[in-house]
């Protein structure tokens, strides 16, 4: 059984959503798109649960 990671980086999250990473960047600067976390200045992480909720219109 393969375990899905809990957090994805921007490239992985973009692939999950079938968009380009630049699209996620644009959404973030506009205050749109799925919720993300920024644990350090250079690291952006997206929780798989948040991505799924956003796709389902729950976020």
CB 23 within 8 A of CB 53: no
Q: pTM score, two decimals?
A: 0.87
Retrieve residue 48's tokens. 């798989």
**pLDDT tens, position by position, for the chain (59 residues)?**
666 679 999 999 999 999 999 999 999 999 999 999 999 999 999 999 999 999 999 86
Average per-residue pLDDT in the chain?
92
Domain locations in the chain as residue ranges: 7-55
Cβ count within 10 A of residue 33: 20
Instruction: Kindly report, residue by residue over 1-17, the tens digit of the pLDDT.
Output: 666 679 999 999 999 99
Residue 46, burial from CB neighbour count under 10 angstroms (0-12, 13-18, 19+): buried
């Amino acid at each position: 059984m393969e375990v899905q990671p809990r957090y994805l980086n921007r490239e992985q999250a973009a692939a999950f959503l079938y968009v380009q990473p630049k699209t996620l960047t644009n959404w973030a600067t506009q205050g749109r798109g799925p919720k993300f976390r920024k644990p350090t200045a250079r690291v952006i992480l997206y929780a798989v649960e948040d991505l799924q909720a956003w796709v389902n219109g729950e976020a």
